[in-house]
């Protein structure tokens, strides 16, 4: 069990460990590279010394005397025979060396300059500006000096040979010499180290050259025992073994007075091992490898990157009270609800505090146990999995002890009740790209094993049901529940902050259904009208004979007044009115116009937006629930189907298309002939070849449009596929013309396909053939089927599309990550300013105008036209 810490973190100070500090915190010095003896016991002063902490259960720590989970582990240390550079500070050391004199350790700037810098530094700190940039400038200036202004010593240029070798005037500096130099610097500079962005209170430059190496506790590098009984050590332990071995050899050789060359080689080797111990991906040196050839995972690798400690264990954690499963649609639940399988509901719990007011009720609940007996006709009753007593003890409720636990329930206990209908939960689908990717729903416990969601919430989650999975989280505190209820519920997100319009609305069949219902002047019998309206939840009077528009009007708010162009509308208002594509709603009556995507669709729905703004989110949610059910009822009543025969066109149309394609071919041949004979008129700024390509692309584009036009002339609104395309339910007229007419020119990188074999795209063509077919024009339709060469070109174009999407998603993902990291500390204050969490002002008024885009009208603060209309009428 976790014990709550009473300590509160006030601040965190980052600094360097001094050799003394390392020795002081060390539990033992480590001298032997061996870990365990033959009997399997850890060797004293070895890397697995029992004073470094316990990893085997049952044993007690030799340093603190605590057991496995209580002992945090203790550091040891290795005394290095010779000092080595700490790679992490190689750059910092380099900067210090460049900026200071080796003779006297002072900054290579005159006293006057330093005095001025001190003042500048103070100002930089006061203005909360970047001290690192300041230090960089100091180094830049100091490194230009060739003679020390203090002691007159000639300054030799210092170079850094990555990763850890320094040269002064071409001569190699040993880490020992660097340490001496740095010591001089800390001595001479004192508080002026701040000018180099170093806080002398917590870090002295010479500590960046290691003389003592801390050995992390065994708890950070636990060894694992394989099934065979074999011990396998952590990568860090392996690396430490290497360091101790070389350290020992270096010491022995040096003490024995071995030749300088050998000592230096060993010293370099020690430097290599210490460097890779910190970071095994240091550029310029080969990574240290395991015997199997796998690169070792050392300190930096544990922390860095997506799988590192920060991004995967600290910024993001796995959580309790969550569930994940496949999603499937349920048109009968509200958009505010989510269907939760019984199995999941039994596992997820809501904590309820027992008070004097609810104790009897809670006792009854606990009595049920974790798997309540169900009265006939009831499919689910919530039980209780755990009871937490006031003393913090957690008691598992079983069918056996349920009665007993219930009896002894007291005020102050917490009952962990299983999920029940109406509990508020968070529902999420990755990638969570915007705030609508995680919304609050009311749980509805249902049979079977999938999460159920209303179809209208698919657009904000970008979900479909081809195997998508989603996550669900149960809130555990009253505050969280209240926030979710007020801020996160689906109905609060009908309007999107992205464009200030509805993002939740009818899709696919809902739109087709409403379109069929309201298009033309269909008349429904009383019985049919009642069926449709009952499904939509309408309770009230129904006339004997009703038109579709009258039926639709029944679910509109009675005081709704709107006028706009429908999706069906293609031209100006006059034309639209003729086509019944201009919607007029007066006092909640649909007088004219057809209901399609522009009225009720997600992203577009005018009626939804209007209701959400004028009547509030609750009304809007109810309207969406109603209109989707109405659409489904209408489409079921009227009947709807689509098939490949929707793209059938008459013989004569086929002939016309053939003719258009033939003409295009001829035109292209003419262009090519003109080009070859040099008669082609060049477009200014283009080469002759480019001119030809452009002309041909124009001809092929036009040919496809013409075939599409011929095809659509024979496909009217009695055609299911056309109904879907024109109403905005699914597909486009372009899709249809590609199915019925011709697929058209395939392109890679915006040009006709031209690469492949020498001088031609495929061996089916003659070299240098510039004709339509040889360069990727597909004159067949999808319905007719593509020829082998056409199929190949089509695949080329298709592949480019796939690659583009893949590249786009990864790139935009990275961009979003960087944006989030840059903006995470910015917040909107109560006075309308946008500030950093430290108080600096970013904007004096949010977005210049202080307008919440969610509440804007498609980006505008007010809808002037609508206001004028409303005022005029009243």
Partner 1 sequence: MRNPKIKILEGIYVAKMKIDILKHTLVPHHEILSAEEVEKLLKAYKIKKEDLPQILVTDPVVKAIGAKEGDVIKIIRRSPTAGESVAYRLVVRKEII
Sites of contact with partner 1 (CB under 8 A): 117, 120, 123-124, 126-130, 133-134, 137-138, 141, 831, 833, 835, 839-845, 847-851, 859-861
Residue 105 CB, nearest approach to partner 1 (Å): 22
DSSP letter string, 161-202: ETTTEEEETTEEEPHHHHHHHHHHHHHHHGGGGGGGT--TTT
Minimum CB separation from partner 1 for residue 439, in Å? 28
Contact 204, 124 (CB under 8 A): no
Report the C-alpha dihedral over residues 605, 610, 612, 614, rounded to 10 degrees: 180
Q: Nearest Cα to 490, choosing from 321, 621, 648, 674?
A: 621
Residue 458: exposure state from Cβ atoms within 10 A (0-12, 13-18, ≥19): buried
- Nearest CB to partner 1, comparing residues 815 and 845: 845
Q: How far is CA 441 from CA 358, 380, 537, 635, in A?
A: 26, 19, 21, 28
Output the CA angle 541-544-547, nearest 5 degrees. 95
Measured from the CB atom, is 801 or 832 closer to partner 1? 832
Shorter beta-carbon distance to partner 1: residue 294 or 860: 860
**Least distance from partner 1 to the Cβ atom of residue 109, Å:** 11
Give the residue with the Cβ less far from partner 1, 137 or 709.
137
**At its nearest, how many Å lie between partner 1 and the CB of residue 208?**
24
Q: Tell me which H or E stretch contains 676.
A: helix 651-676
3-state DSSP assignment of residue 354: coil
**Other CB atoms within 10 Å distance of the CB of residue 845:** 12
Nearer to partner 1, 579 or 843 (CB): 843
Structure tokens at 98: 């460049």
CB 638 within 8 A of CB 516: yes
Q: How far is the CB of 789 from partner 1 (least distance, A)?
A: 52
In the complex, least distance from residue 108 CB atom to partner 1, rounded to whole angstroms:
15
Nearer to partner 1, 431 or 859 (CB): 859
For the bound state, the minimum distance from the C-beta of residue 568 to partner 1, rounded and expressed in Å, comes to 32
Interatomic CA distance for residues 109 and 305, integer angstroms: 40
Task: Report whether 213 contacts 243 (CB < 8 A).
Answer: yes
> Which is nearer to partner 1, 92 or 131 (by Cβ)?
131
Residue 136 or 389 having the CB closest to partner 1 = 136
What is the closest distance, in whole angstroms, from the C-beta atom of residue 130 to partner 1 in the complex?
Answer: 7
For partner 1, the closer of residues 544 and 831 by Cβ is: 831
Instruction: List, in sequence order, every residue forming a beta bridge with 760; answer none if it has no partner.
Output: 757
Q: Do the beta carbons of residue 745 and residue 712 sit within 8 Å? A: no
| Residue 15 vs 847, nearer CB to partner 1 | 847
User: What is the nearest approach in angstroms of partner 1 to the Cβ of residue 99?
Assistant: 14
Query: How far apart are CB 835 and partner 1 at their closest, in Å?
Result: 8
- Using DSSP's 3-state secondary structure scheme, residue 82 falls into strand
CB of 731 or CB of 853, closer to partner 1:
853
For residue 855, which of 540, 452, 494 has the smallest C-alpha distance? Answer: 494
Compute the least distance from the CB of residue 118 to partner 1, in Å.
11
**DSSP line for 574-619:** HHHHHHT-EEEEETTEEEES---HHHHBTTT-HHHHHHHHHH-HHH
**Least distance CB 603 / partner 1 (angstroms):** 22
Looking at the Cβ atoms of 117 and 608, the one nearer to partner 1 is 117
Q: Kindly state the smallest distance separating residue 322's Cβ from partner 1, in Å.
A: 40
Nearer to partner 1, 412 or 497 (CB): 497
Q: Positive or negative CA dihedral for 714, 716, 719, 723?
A: positive
* Distances, alpha carbon 432 to alpha carbons 316, 326, 489, 585, in Å: 13, 17, 16, 38
Distance between CA atoms of 105 and 183, rounded to whole angstroms?
8
* CA pair distance 662, 657, nearest whole angstrom: 9
Radius of gyration of the chain (CA): 38
3-state secondary structure of 356: coil
């Amino acid at each position: 069990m976790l014990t709550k810490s009473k300590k509160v973190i006030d601040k965190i100070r980052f600094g360097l460990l001094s050799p003394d500090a390392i020795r002081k915190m060390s539990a033992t010095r480590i001298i032997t590279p061996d870990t365990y003896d033959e009997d399997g016991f850890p060797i004293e002063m070895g890397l697995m010394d029992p004073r470094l902490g316990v990893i085997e259960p049952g044993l007690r720590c030799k340093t603190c005397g605590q057991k496995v989970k209580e002992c945090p582990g203790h550091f040891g240390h290795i005394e290095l025979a010779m000092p080595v550079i700490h790679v992490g500070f190689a750059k910092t050391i380099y900067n210090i060396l460049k900026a200071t004199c080796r003779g006297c350790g002072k900054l290579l700037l005159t006293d006057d300059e330093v005095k001025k810098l001190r003042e500048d530094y103070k100002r930089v700190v006061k203005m909360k500006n970047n001290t690192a940039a300041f230090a960089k400038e100091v180094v830049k200036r100091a490194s230009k000096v060739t003679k020390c202004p203090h002691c007159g010593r000639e300054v030799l240029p210092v170079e850094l040979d990555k990763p850890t070798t320094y040269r002064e005037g071409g001569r190699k500096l040993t880490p020992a010499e660097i340490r001496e130099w740095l010591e001089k610097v800390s001595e001479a500079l004192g508080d002026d180290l701040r000018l180099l962005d170093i806080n002398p209170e917590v870090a002295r430059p010479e500590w960046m050259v290691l003389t003592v190496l801390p050995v992390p506790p065994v708890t950070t590098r636990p060894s694992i025992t394989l099934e065979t009984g074999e011990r396998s050590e952590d990568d860090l332990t392996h690396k430490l073994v290497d360091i101790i071995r070389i350290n020992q050899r270096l010491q022995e050789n040096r003490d024995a007075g071995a030749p300088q060359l050998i000592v230096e080689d060993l010293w370099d080797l020690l430097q290599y091992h210490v460097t890779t111990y910190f970071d095994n991906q240091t550029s310029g040196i080969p990574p240290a490898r395991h015997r199997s050839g796998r690169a070792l995972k050392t300190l930096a690798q544990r922390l860095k990157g997506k799988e590192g400690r920060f991004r995967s264990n600290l910024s993001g954690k796995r959580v309790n009270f969550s569930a994940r499963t496949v999603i499937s649609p349920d048109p009968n639940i509200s958009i505010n609800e989510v269907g939760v399988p019984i199995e999941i509901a039994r596992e997820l719990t809501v904590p309820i505090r027992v008070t004097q007011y609810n104790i009897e009720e809670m006792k009854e609940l606990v009595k049920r146990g974790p798997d309540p007996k169900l009265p006939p006709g009831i499919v689910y009753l919530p039980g209780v999995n755990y009871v937490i007593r006031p003393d913090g003890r957690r008691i598992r409720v079983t069918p056996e002890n349920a009665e007993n636990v219930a009896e002894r329930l007291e005020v102050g206990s917490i009952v962990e009740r299983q999920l029940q209908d109406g509990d508020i939960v968070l529902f999420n689908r990755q990638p969570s790209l915007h705030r609508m990717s995680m919304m609050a729903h009311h749980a509805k416990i249902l049979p079977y094993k999938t999460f159920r969601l209303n179809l209208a919430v698919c657009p904000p989650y970008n979900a479909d049901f081809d195997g998508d999975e989603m996550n669900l989280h149960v809130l555990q505190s009253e505050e969280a529940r209240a926030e979710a209820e007020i801020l996160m519920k689906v109905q609060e997100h009908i309007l999107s902050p992205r464009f200030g319009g509805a993002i939740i609305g009818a899709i696919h069949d809902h739109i087709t259904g409403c379109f069929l219902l309201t298009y033309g002047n269909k008349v429904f019998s009383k019985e049919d009208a009642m069926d449709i309206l009952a499904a939509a939840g309408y309770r009230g009077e129904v006339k004997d004979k009703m038109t579709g528009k009258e039926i639709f009007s029944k679910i509109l708010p009675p005081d709704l007044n709107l006028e706009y162009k429908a999706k069906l509308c293609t031209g100006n208002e006059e034309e639209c009115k003729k086509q019944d594509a201009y919607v007029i709603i007066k006092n909640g009556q649909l007088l004219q116009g057809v209901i399609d995507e522009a009225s009720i669709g997600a992203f577009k729905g005018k009626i939804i937006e209007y209701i959400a703004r004028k009547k509030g989110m609750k009304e809007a949610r109810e309207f969406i629930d109603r209109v989707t059910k109405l659409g489904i009822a209408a489409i079921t009543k009227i009947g709807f189907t689509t098939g490949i025969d929707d793209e059938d066109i008459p013989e004569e149309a086929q002939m016309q298309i053939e003719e258009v394609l033939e003409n295009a071919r001829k035109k292209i041949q003419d262009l090519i002939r003109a080009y070859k004979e040099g008669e082609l008129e060049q477009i200014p700024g283009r080469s002759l070849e480019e001119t030809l390509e452009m002309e041909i692309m124009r001809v092929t584009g036009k040919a496809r449009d013409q075939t599409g036009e011929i095809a659509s002339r024979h496909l009217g609104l009695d055609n299911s596929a056309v109904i879907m395309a024109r109403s905005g339910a699914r597909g486009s007229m372009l899709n249809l013309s590609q199915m019925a007419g011709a697929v058209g020119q395939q392109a890679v990188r915006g040009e006709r396909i031209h690469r492949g074999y020498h001088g031609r795209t495929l061996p089916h063509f003659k070299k240098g053939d510039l004709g339509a077919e040889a360069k990727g024009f597909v004159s067949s339709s999808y319905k007719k089927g593509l020829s082998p060469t056409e199929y190949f070109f089509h695949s080329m174009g298709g592949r480019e599309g796939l690659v583009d999407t893949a590249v786009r998603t990864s790139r935009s993902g990275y961009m979003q990550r960087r944006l989030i990291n840059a903006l995470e500390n910015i917040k909107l204050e109560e006075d309308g300013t946008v500030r950093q969490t430290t108080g600096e002002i970013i904007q004096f008024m949010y977005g210049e105008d202080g307008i919440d885009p969610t509440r804007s009208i498609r980006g505008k603060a007010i809808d002037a036209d609508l206001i004028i209309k409303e005022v005029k009428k009243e």
